[in-house]
Structure 1
């Protein structure tokens, strides 16, 4: 295509489901909206966003939360003597390591476009399920081998909410954050979006988890937990696509509000399956948000090195922001 399609121009081929971006970057593409991270945009971000050299890691502890949401397995960390040098060296072994139990990128294999039952770019279920027909389509190794770097912006919704309403936000209560609210937060923080941005949203959920005692926290960890998040609707999908975000991420369970009201009309279905946009979840944004509240700077140079796991579904982000 000679011109990037608008939301209303999707799909680019009528054989594809409505409002999907299949084929926009080619029928064999495995990266989706990460293609927005051009060399020119990465270079500009490195030149304009790094001013102090302050570094902010965004991975939460691998052990957090305990227990994990959605009944996912807890990591079992074993320290063992290295077999070659038993009295001088140690190895790590991680058992039951679910890459989506803590901070994570949902890769493009995680969720299909619900209505069509196909994954991004018309990839079949059989391409992903282990078996004779399995391929490497959409595996996280594709984005790991590419690398993720560019400009990120943070919308501190939890802090904005508290300032507007004079009370702390309860992130464990389902609430739909609208596009209008996101724009108001951006305006309040003097954030001007740029094409290729990684959009990060803070709701305060990770720190709220840390404040709860074990039994209280378990009450929030039912198979279908409840939390605040972005509203899943056409207005959101249009806004995200038109902004040309490279990825979205949040400190909550799913970026969007959960539980989903309609799997067919969810950000997971539209972003992962429709747009080819990875979703970050349970990012630890507290230190970054506190620093930005002090200096008023909400743009950063962002890097992420996902696990280079062939045919992987998801990965810890291994992400940092630099100011």
Structure 2
């Protein structure tokens, strides 16, 4: 079952006897189909994902669940829903939208809980989810999150590069959760070479592929931490208990992501995370048509107190020559 966005409660998909597959875009690949239906003013990740769904790049999908984690994801859902309605010949699978609010209020929890309960009921068409099934799925996904947290410690100790870390996290979203745990444990057991470079904390847009990390690490930086939901935000919070209510609270309070959190929340989180990984430089990468990161940047720069660079309107999966040039003086200063 394909899903889009870190707000999708993958535990429910696992509990229904299905394999969650997080759908990724592919930088540099033709996205003309996605451009046709979404327009070129939408985040290129969403356009790439739509193209790959329509061309069958992910293989057969039993269904697709999309979270309302950002405007681009919502636009993607609406496009898929309309194509499902007017183009039955495309053979698109059933679709579902999940709306998780991240307001820090007890009154928000019943809303999120209701949305998760509705998704649980919808997934029951594949296999009814008993409480024991859900508890087992929550437990195993939390085990994976704890394993990934240990991998994050390795990176902070310079024993795992930022690129390798990002690739590892992405790999765990593409295989059954038991295999994902084995994959992480195998990496944890490796004799890893030391990573080198100026310690950089990456904020801004999310990264579902490693190209930007690779470019930074080829140019003298070590991506020691990040605050997007393909990195440490994906697994930082576990469930307080193996119950549906605790699952709702886990997703409600997960974050803070750039599209769904306040400027103050983002600044405080970025500052704490940058300190935890001993970052020397703050770099905000804002992809073209991703408008949230530049609003966060002044507060993040002030809160961290680090030499900082904002690179706006960056191509999907790339760093422009101008962005790299702006990083040269901060690298030298660090």
* TM-score, structure 1 as length reference: 0.26
More relative contact order, 1 or 2 (CA 8 Å, 6+ apart) = 1
As a proportion of its length, which structure holds more helix? 2
As a proportion of its length, which structure holds more strand? 1
